Chains A and B, each alone.
Chain A
Amino acid sequence: MLKTIGRGSVDELFAQIPAESRLQRDLDIPRQMAESEIVEYFRQRSRENGEGYTSFLGAGAYYHYRPIIIDSLISRGEFLTAYTPYQAEISQGTLQSIFEFQTMICELTGMEVANASMYDGSTAAAEAVMMAVRLTGRRSVVVASSLHPEYREVLATYATHQGMPLSTAGFSDDGRVKLTELEKLITAETACVLIQSPNFFGTIEDVAAIADLAHRRGAMLVVSIAEAVSLGIVEPPRQADVIAMEAQSFGVPLGFGGPYCGVIATREKNVRQMPGRLVGQTVDKQGRRGFVLTLATREQHIRREKATSNICTNQALVALMVNIFMTVYGKVGLKELAKQNLAKAAYAAGQFARHGTILFSTAPRFNEFVVETSEEPSAINSRLLGHKIVGGLPLKKFYPELGNAALWCCTELTARSAIDTAVGLVAESERSVRSAKEEVEEVVR
């Protein structure tokens, strides 16, 4: 090949790089490894990571069963090793599957259009808010403090330089947005209200009431959904103008936080301000049905600095996992799956209530609930770890005002025996705190 191109050595091809910038040594990185060594390296990391634990963690990342055929199908090289379907004639597989994905997301969310995916739930929420800013021509945003704290952080980052003032509406005793406070925060400048439902505490917001407050002042309502399985049994926020979803629950591995699958869904009239890719149906020269990427005039490769977003690569293969998951469970299965989640969480909350305090218990919830204990939840959690159980997420870091509260999650994969063990240890903790307190009182007396 060198002869063909008339060169003496490969190094000549790099002559364009100034000599002082050419690397004259080996990169200082691990030596080349055989496949067997690579596999062993990651098995070792996997063991260090702890295998075989039962986890009560949710909080935006959920452990649900992944049907085997998801990986069988997404491992097909034709899906795995294709890129963005710009050449429609040889990308109909990806394009039709995205069209089906968009359709199912619409069915589940009650919206009219959905995009092909965003990076994750947090960036989808931030982009949905920016979309509302463009649609309303207003700039300020009211955010519920019961929205996932890391989603709020991401929004704050995105909003910083957009001149978008953010205000935060707190939650009331039932864990839901404090409506009186929200009402005061919505002004004629408010582009949108952003809430999450089921919210970060697992409780289901009164979406109709919030939508009413927002719409009355001409603001939009953006609803974030972090636990997609809830859509099987919880009425979707149909009153929302935009829904920003995290679809990880639908067949996507936890994977230490990613890759996941954000989605934005909205009303048809808002579609031209939507970020991200969209697939549309059309016909070829012979009139046969086919699918293409469409409305590209919203996108960066056409509009450059006037685009609705800079997003290019999205989460296509993860969206395919989500798509297959939705197809497997379908109309009946998703409901039954969601119902099992509801039942497990209801049982667990009922058991915990006998020893600790369940916060926000007056509002309906899906598969997460908040348990308040006398002892620091992290102390209880370290004892649980000895039983190969990961306890609920201590909330102090995000909500110091909630004290010794932790967010627990149960899914269809949470065994009753694990719930009973966890409840047992919480009960023990409460007993020892109580007897310690009694001892102190004894001494004082």
Chain B
Amino acid sequence: MNKTGPKASLHVNQNEGLIFEKSSPGKAAWKLPPLDVPDVDTAKLLGAAERRDLGHMPEVSEIEIIRHFTRLSTWNYAIDLGMYPLGSCTMKYNPRVNEAVARVEGIANAHPYQPGKISQGALHIIKTLSECLIEITGMDAITLQPAAGAHGEMTGLLMVRAYHQSKGNARKKILIPDSAHGTNPATAAMVNYAVENLKSDGRGMVDIGALAAQMNEDVAALMLTNPNTLGVFEQDIHRIAEILHAKGGLLYMDGANMNALVGKARPGDFGVDLMHLNLHKTFSTPHGGGGPGSGPVAVKQILEPFLPAPVVVANSDGTLGFDYHRPHSVGRVRAFYGNFGMFVRALAYIQANGPDGLRQTTEDAVLNANYIRKGLEGAYDLPYATPTMHEVVFSDKLQAKKGVRTMDIAKRLIDYGFHPYTTAFPLIVPGALMIEPTESESKEEMDLFVEAMKSIADEAENEPQTILDAPHSTRVSRLDETAAARKPVLRWKPN
């Protein structure tokens, strides 16, 4: 067994240049069928608009392309290789049946404008998923149009604004806890609301006194992540909702951490007026190296008139169709109907689980986070003792004494065969280590993780330099990010 534990060892790794460096004239990976209509004189048809040269686009063969991307792929860490405990990202297993059903011909090749008569299958999928998500969240209506969580936030705040506008006053600001994701304040700015920070109390929860003091008729909504980014359920959620509602404000829930609640509690039952979900987190659609996501927004009845158009409705003959006539709608946030392929995958996930499976998923996710918390307590500083839901946040306080910070520990964890946790977030915990195992991890994998983290804690005591120089086993060592930003090289250029 090598020094970095039983999980990882080295193996031969192929080098691979940029695709442009492999290109040479005459190589090709494409073949078109013979043209069955008369050929055309391009110059005559296009005149000055004709393009003559495609610059440095590559010319390579099919096997070169297969090897190129296969080699590149082996340089990635992925859920399929092991535990990927990025906090608030819910890196759970992505079932392959989801991928198979998204590729069935009539689903994969459906054109968004094809007639309703031959779109019933797609409309049925949208309707069924909508109903499931409404039930899971305890809300009354939903839009699936937003393409990702942040896009859902924007859609939600547009609806908040439209709601207040309909009461005669759009209001001025959004309250956002200091533990919130960066997308929350960025979204508020896009909808032209001022951001007012709300501080957390000693338990890592919303400070009720501060909320009561800051709440007034200028506040349009509170954007609350629940459980919050410390993995803590806002115990005073009913009081929070009351304080907001008493002054006419709305409670927006960022559903990034919904994996802690599905089947156990519903935001609609604890005072939330609207919320977004991340199908690529809670509902297992693949993260794909950074997307595509999908960010449905579920709302209470009072906000239904403002949903983006179109919405799926039943026609008088029982078939399904789109209703575009929505006079109070905030408008469209995306062309067509959203990331439909993700709806297919999310519905397949819900079907594969059913009511029992979804509840157990949540229980396992919370159990796993608590198991890791127990395993690492003592070895790492736990800044908030409040009970943990689906993720746990430690700090690097103990290791920092030796000059070892959260990012260093993260890099060393790579040598042990794990993807790092989320580093330096939430901002209210200096040097945060934010760990979310999800329900997908077995006890065996988590035991390896705990062992690895403890071993790194020992290294921090005895040989901190090993950590500061990590990772040692990757094809590149730490990269110079400062140089990359100072003089950006954002594309390949021929010599």
B21 CB to nearest A CB, Å: 10
Cross-interface CB contact of B46 among A151, A234, A317, A318, cutoff 8 Å: A234
What are 21 A-B residue pairs whose CB atoms fall within 8 Å in the complex? A14-B265, A16-B387, A33-B351, A37-B351, A38-B351, A45-B121, A46-B121, A93-B76, A102-B491, A107-B55, A108-B54, A113-B490, A120-B335, A290-B476, A310-B189, A312-B149, A316-B288, A317-B290, A328-B65, A330-B60, A342-B45
Mark B295-314 against chain A: 1 for CB-CB distance below 8 A, else 0.
00000000000001000000
A63 CB to nearest B CB, Å: 7
How long is the Cα–Cα vector from A81 to B440 in the complex, in angstroms? 13
How long is the Cα–Cα vector from A317 to B290 in the complex, in angstroms? 7
Mark B465-495 against chain A: 1 for CB-CB distance below 8 A, else 0.
0000001001111111101110011111000
- Closest residue on chain A to residue B153 by CB atoms: A310
How long is the Cα–Cα vector from A123 to B338 in the complex, in angstroms? 11
Mark B377-414 against chain A: 1 for CB-CB distance below 8 A, else 0.
00000000011010000000000000000000011001
Cross-interface CB contact of B265 among A22, A255, A297, cutoff 8 Å: A22
> Cβ of B28 and Cβ of A38 under 8 Å apart?
no
Q: Which 6 residue pairs spanning A and B have beta carbons closest together?
A: A317-B288, A32-B354, A257-B336, A50-B118, A77-B80, A46-B106
> Cβ of A100 and Cβ of B331 under 8 Å apart?
no
Residue of B59, B65, B77, B373 with highest tally of chain A CB at under 10 A: B77
Cross-interface CB contact of B49 among A10, A45, A235, A285, cutoff 8 Å: A235
Q: Judge whether B273 is part of the interface by a CB distance below 8 angstroms.
A: no
How long is the Cα–Cα vector from A112 to B368 in the complex, in angstroms? 47
Q: Judge whether A336 is part of the interface by a CB distance below 8 angstroms.
A: yes
- Closest residue on chain A to residue B356 by CB atoms: A32
> Cβ of A90 and Cβ of B76 under 8 Å apart?
yes
Mark A13-39 against chain B: 1 for CB-CB distance below 8 A, else 0.
111111011110011111111010111
- A120-B366 contact, Cβ under 8 Å, with A22-B265, A46-B104, A76-B70: no
Q: Which residues of B in the span 276-328 have a Cβ within 8 Å of any Cβ on A?
A: 278, 280, 286-294, 308
How long is the Cα–Cα vector from A24 to B102 in the complex, in angstroms? 34
> Cβ of A294 and Cβ of B484 under 8 Å apart?
yes
Q: Judge whether A435 is part of the interface by a CB distance below 8 angstroms.
A: no
Cross-interface CB contact of B288 among A80, A278, A335, cutoff 8 Å: A80
Q: Judge whether B38 is part of the interface by a CB distance below 8 angstroms.
A: yes
Chain A-chain B contacts (Cβ-Cβ < 8 Å), number: 651
> Cβ of A318 and Cβ of B291 under 8 Å apart?
yes
Q: Judge whether A437 is part of the interface by a CB distance below 8 angstroms.
A: no
Contacts of B112 in A (CB 8 A): 61, 254, 256-257
Mark A59-103 against chain B: 1 for CB-CB distance below 8 A, else 0.
111010001010111111111111111011111111011011011
**Which stretch, A137-145, A154-162, A214-222, touches the partner chain B?**
A154-162
Contacts of A333 in B (CB 8 A): 28-30, 32
- A120-B490 contact, Cβ under 8 Å, with A330-B29, A334-B54, A381-B115: no
**Which stretch, A167-175, A179-187, A298-306, A422-430, touches the partner chain B?**
A298-306
Mark A122-157 against chain B: 1 for CB-CB distance below 8 A, else 0.
110000000000000000000000001011011011
Q: Judge whether B259 is part of the interface by a CB distance below 8 angstroms.
A: no
How long is the Cα–Cα vector from A14 to B112 in the complex, in angstroms? 42
Q: Judge whether B150 is part of the interface by a CB distance below 8 angstroms.
A: yes
How long is the Cα–Cα vector from A42 to B292 in the complex, in angstroms? 21
- Closest residue on chain A to residue B340 by CB atoms: A256
Mark B86-106 against chain A: 1 for CB-CB distance below 8 A, else 0.
100101001001011111111
A110 CB to nearest B CB, Å: 8
Q: Judge whether B190 is part of the interface by a CB distance below 8 angstroms.
A: yes
Contacts of A280 in B (CB 8 A): 484-485, 488-490
Cross-interface CB contact of A336 among B29, B32, B70, cutoff 8 Å: B32
How long is the Cα–Cα vector from A37 to B352 in the complex, in angstroms? 9
Contacts of B42 in A (CB 8 A): 233, 339, 342
Contacts of A440 in B (CB 8 A): none
> Cβ of B36 and Cβ of A81 under 8 Å apart?
no
How long is the Cα–Cα vector from A92 to B182 in the complex, in angstroms? 25
Residue of B37, B119, B354, B363 with highest tally of chain A CB at under 10 A: B37
How long is the Cα–Cα vector from A29 to B132 in the complex, in angstroms? 6
> Cβ of B62 and Cβ of A328 under 8 Å apart?
yes
How long is the Cα–Cα vector from A76 to B71 in the complex, in angstroms? 11
Contacts of A282 in B (CB 8 A): 479-481, 483-484, 489
Q: Judge whether A337 is part of the interface by a CB distance below 8 angstroms.
A: yes
> Cβ of B484 and Cβ of A292 under 8 Å apart?
yes
- A150-B335 contact, Cβ under 8 Å, with A18-B270, A73-B69, A313-B148: yes
> Cβ of A26 and Cβ of B292 under 8 Å apart?
no
B162 CB to nearest A CB, Å: 9
Residue of B334, B340, B351 with highest tally of chain A CB at under 10 A: B334
Q: Judge whether A119 is part of the interface by a CB distance below 8 angstroms.
A: yes
How long is the Cα–Cα vector from A135 to B51 in the complex, in angstroms? 30
How long is the Cα–Cα vector from A396 to B139 in the complex, in angstroms? 36
> Cβ of A157 and Cβ of B264 under 8 Å apart?
no
> Cβ of B286 and Cβ of A39 under 8 Å apart?
no
Q: Judge whether A324 is part of the interface by a CB distance below 8 angstroms.
A: yes
> Cβ of B290 and Cβ of A258 under 8 Å apart?
no
> Cβ of B57 and Cβ of A107 under 8 Å apart?
yes
How long is the Cα–Cα vector from A382 to B114 in the complex, in angstroms? 11
> Cβ of A154 and Cβ of B333 under 8 Å apart?
yes
B309 CB to nearest A CB, Å: 8
- A89-B54 contact, Cβ under 8 Å, with A49-B110, A51-B105, A340-B32: no
> Cβ of A385 and Cβ of B51 under 8 Å apart?
no
Q: Judge whether B431 is part of the interface by a CB distance below 8 angstroms.
A: no
Contacts of B77 in A (CB 8 A): 78, 82, 87, 90-91
- A233-B51 contact, Cβ under 8 Å, with A50-B118, A314-B291, A328-B65: yes
**Which stretch, B207-215, B229-237, B244-252, B453-461, touches the partner chain A?**
B229-237
Contacts of B490 in A (CB 8 A): 99, 102, 113-114, 271, 278-281, 294
How long is the Cα–Cα vector from A157 to B350 in the complex, in angstroms? 32
B135 CB to nearest A CB, Å: 5
Contacts of A76 in B (CB 8 A): 69-70, 73
> Cβ of B286 and Cβ of A10 under 8 Å apart?
no
> Cβ of A300 and Cβ of B286 under 8 Å apart?
no
Q: Judge whether B9 is part of the interface by a CB distance below 8 angstroms.
A: no
- Closest residue on chain A to residue B132 by CB atoms: A29
Contacts of B344 in A (CB 8 A): 42
